[in-house]
Structure 1
Amino acid sequence: MHTLIVISHPNPDSLTHAIAERVAEGIASADAADSVEIADLAAEGFDPAFSPADLAYFEKRAPAPPEIAHEHARLDRADRLVIVYPIYWWSFPGLLKGWIDRVFSNGWAYEENPEGKVIKKLQRLQVHLVANGGADQGMIDRHGYATAMTTQIDHGIFDYCGAPVISSTRLLASDPGFPAAHLDTAFDIGRRIVSPKD
């Protein structure tokens, strides 16, 4: 099995990066035969702006831009997708949202048949979401942010493409033992990705 971990944070020394590394270590500890690739969108200079070339591809007037074809190939190799990100304005950072906008494209991630029914094309891809944020759980619950994020991200993006969200974890600054405990949790997430019953 092969896992692609996508990170969206501009600082390589961030907690987000440390969490992603621990998830990868947890996967490796659970099964040395599993392979892991880390895609650091900021370090790679991914352009999140939806361009005229992206629109032409969406409208099936042109092939995928080369950088999008590259991302499709990375995802085609993956059995699992783990997205590790900081919560910005109760959603993804702009860089990660732009990656979704450009990469989870019409014709590759989903398409409509002649009757207008959506064909979900990513049913083979298991998704795990790992978000970290500064708010406490009480605030998230009071304002319904968890439900909103689940609706927008889990259902609005991944279910639309057929990719099942197997786990969605929020690591918060108010959690006991922050931030060290988050690294332990991230390691456990990696192990559970490979061995869900452990």
Structure 2
Amino acid sequence: MHALIVVSHPDPQSLTHAVAQAFAEGVRAPGRHTAELADIAAEGFQPAFNPADRATFFRKAAAPPDVLREQERIDRAGALVLVYPVYWWSFPGQLKGWIDRVFSNGWAYSETPEGQIEKRLRRLAVHLIGIGGAGEGTYARHGYGTALRTQIDHGIFDYCGAQVATSRVLHGTDSASAASHIATARELGRGAFAEHAVDGVRA
């Protein structure tokens, strides 16, 4: 099977990139799976929702070519992996814009004539890995972990029918934490296609 790993960080030497690379190594380790790293910052993906995207939303036009390219990459994958730093308790702006534009009406979901939402990404497994500068206690004290799961796991992926198999925030960016995060990401990658995977562990 194939995993598309989308990484959102402007510095290729960042911990975020190292975690994404480690996840890819884990996916490839059994020798049965493949992984593609999509560095949307280096690729220059334009995140701003624009008039062409609005026309797509209202089903008046096909998605723009750059959006179609991203959708085709996801269509080739059995798993979508998002690796990102937590900025202001959410995705970085570019990754949020990638979701805004790529997860379009008519592709990720659609509305039936009866007003029901048709979830079109039920086949897709999703792995979410955030890198958090604040400690786990801070997240727990203020409910940030729950907020992230509500707005991302449920608000985006459940809406489209995709199954969130991993949803993690890796806390800390010091050298000891970084080494631990890289090891964790590699292990999560190894379990990315495990049957009934939850948080990268076979149920």
TM-score after normalising by structure 1: 0.96
SS at match of 1:39: strand
Secondary structure, aligned partner of 2:167? strand
CA drift of 1:170 comes to 1.0
Is the CA contact 2:71–2:102 (under 8 Å) kept in the aligned structure 1?
yes
Q: Are positions 1:121 and 2:113 aligned together?
A: no
Alignment partners' CA distance in 2, 1:57 and 1:155: 23
Structure 1 equivalent of residue 151 of structure 2: 152
1:109-136 deviation line (CA, Å, top 9, x unaligned) = 0011011100000000000001101101
The superposition leaves residues 77-97 of structure 1 with CA deviations (integer Å, 9 ceiling, x where unpaired) of 010001000000111000000
Distance 2:142 2:202 in 1: 33
Conserved? CA contact 1:127–1:163, under 8 Å: yes
Q: Distance in 2 between matches of 1:34 and 1:188?
A: 14
Secondary structure of the residue aligned to 1:179 is helix
Cα distance in 1, alignment partners of residues 38 and 191 from structure 2: 21
Determine helix, strand or coil for the equivalent of 1:178: helix
Q: Once the 2 structures are TM-superposed, how far is the Cα of residue 33 of structure 1 from its aligned partner?
A: 2.3
The answer to whether residue 143 in structure 2 is matched with residue 138 in structure 1 is no
Shift of 1:179: 1.4
- Amino acid corresponding to residue 189 of structure 2 in structure 1: G
- Taking the aligned partners of 1:197 and 1:144, their CA distance within structure 2 comes to 27
TM-score (norm 2): 0.94
1: CA distance, partners of 2:89 / 2:23: 22
What CA deviation, in whole Å up to 9, does each residue of 1:19-78 have, x standing for no partner? 00000001111x212111111000000000001011111111111100011111101101
C-alpha distance in 2 between matches for 1:113 and 1:159: 17
8 Å contact kept, 1:84–1:130: yes
Which residue identity does 2:150 align to in structure 1? T
Cα distance change on mapping 1:176 and 1:15 into 2, 3 Å: closer
The one-letter code of the counterpart of 1:24 is A
Residue aligning to 1:197:
202
Question: In proportion to residue count, which structure has more helix?
Answer: 1
Distance 1:125 1:56 in 2: 26
Alpha-carbon distance in 2 for matches of 1:152, 1:158:
9
CA gap 1:46/1:171 in 2 versus in 1, 3 angstroms: same
* Aligned counterpart, 2:9: 9
Cα deviation, 1:148-189, whole Å, max 9, x if unaligned, reads 110000000000000010111111117993111111111111
Q: Who is 2:26 aligned against?
A: 26
- In the alignment, structure 2 segments of 5+ residues that lack a partner are 195-200
Query: What stretches of structure 1 move > 6 A for 4+ residues in a row?
Result: none
> Aligned equivalents of 1:134 and 1:105: distance in 2?
31
Aligned residues: 197
SS in 2 for 1:106: coil
Contact 2:15 2:173 in 1 (8 A): no
User: Where does residue 91 of structure 1 map in the other structure?
Assistant: 90
How much is the aligned-residue C-alpha RMSD, in angstroms?
Answer: 1.5
Structure 2 counterpart of 1:182, one-letter code? H
1:85 aligned counterpart, secondary structure: strand
Contact 2:132 2:173 in 1 (8 A): no
Q: Measure, in 1, the Cα distance between the counterparts of 2:173 and 2:31.
A: 33
Q: Who is 1:102 aligned against?
A: 101
